[in-house]
Amino acid sequence: MKLMWSLLLLGLMLAGSFSVAQEEDGEEAEEPAEDAAVEDEEAAADNEEAAVEVEEPEGPGTEAGMTDNRQPCAMWMGGVPGTPGHSGHLGRDGRDGHDGPRGEKGDTGEPGKKGEPGEKGGNGAPGLRGFPGNPGLKGAQGESALLYHSSFSVGLTDPVPATNVPIRFNKFFHNEQHHYDDVSGKFHCLLPGVYFFTYHLTVYTKDARVSLFKNDKPVMFTYDQYHGGDVDQASGALIVRLQSGDEVRLQIYGDEDFGGVYADNTNDSTFSGFLLYPDMGELEERRRRSVGVSRH
């Protein structure tokens, strides 16, 4: 290694002396100083390669510390140019550049295809309460509810012999509108509205079970157990809404053992009912229909 460095220094010294001599003689006065320096460096590099390529001979005289008898001039001579080296590895990616200037606004694109309908959303929250509206026009004068009447009060003159059929009350206290029919034993509703019904029955000789029917459905039941001796009383009352065409009746349910409803000239069994207030909406609609039919 020491030998290699010694040869390198010697080559540099000889190259410098040679360059000075050329400047004094004026042979290369037209060449720039920089070209001479470049050639010197290339010559030094070639000498370095030549020095590296020199291998020490094996055998005696090659140990460290022994001098080399070869001439220095032979070591200074430039070698054959080497082959080009391999391509180096790719360098690292450069840093991100600065944002470029904003481009001009492009042309308007064509409308896209119509998308699929979305799923139905849930109900929204209720909105705020609105302001009260203006009062409406005054309506036409309606009919008074006092113009509509429906009432009856009837009784029995004899005990009831049959069960599971309407009780036919044949004693009339009041039936001005004839809405109670003593033949069928039923009250027929001609005026829709809310009605009140009540019954007071004398019970004698046996138990009594009575039900009040609206159409074909029982809506109220009364039972009296007879204990013998004097007469008993069974009663009931009901408020119910009726439509036009509805029917109301009383009847004994069960077998003959529960047919204890009684009446004579000193003991009454009564059935009464009357209209509390009519359904004016239905009556008005009925009136309009009747007026329309009469006009046609």
Domain chopping of the chain, boundaries: 1-53, 148-279
Q: Sort residue 149 into left (φ over 0), alpha (ψ -120 to 50) or beta.
A: beta
Q: Compute how many other C-beta atoms are within 10 angstroms of the C-beta atom of residue 272.
A: 20
89 vs 63: which has the higher pLDDT: 89
CA distance 46 to 167: 145
CA distance 170 to 109: 94
**Which two structure tokens, joined as six digits, stand for 249?**
């009746």
pTM for the structure as a whole: 0.50
pLDDT tens by residue, 1-54: 566 667 777 777 776 665 545 555 554 444 444 454 545 566 555 555 544 444
Diameter over CA atoms, the chain: 179
May I ask the CATH class of domain 148-279?
mainly beta
CA distance 121 to 125: 12
Q: How far is CA 82 from CA 50, 53, 78, 97, in A?
A: 11, 12, 11, 40
CB 162 within 8 A of CB 255: no
Q: Compute how many other C-beta atoms are within 10 angstroms of the C-beta atom of residue 134.
A: 5
Work out whether the CA dihedral 251, 253, 259, 261 comes out positive or negative: negative
Predicted confidence at residue 145, as pLDDT, reads 53
pLDDT tens by residue, 115-157: 888 888 888 888 888 888 888 888 766 655 557 899 999 999 9
CA distance 230 to 232: 7
Q: Compute how many other C-beta atoms are within 10 angstroms of the C-beta atom of residue 135.
A: 6
Q: How far is CA 105 from CA 108, 176, 191, 245, in A?
A: 9, 94, 80, 80
pLDDT tens by residue, 160-215: 888 999 999 999 999 999 999 999 999 999 999 999 999 999 999 999 999 999 99
Q: How many Cα atoms within 13 Å fall on the side-chain side of residue 208?
A: 27
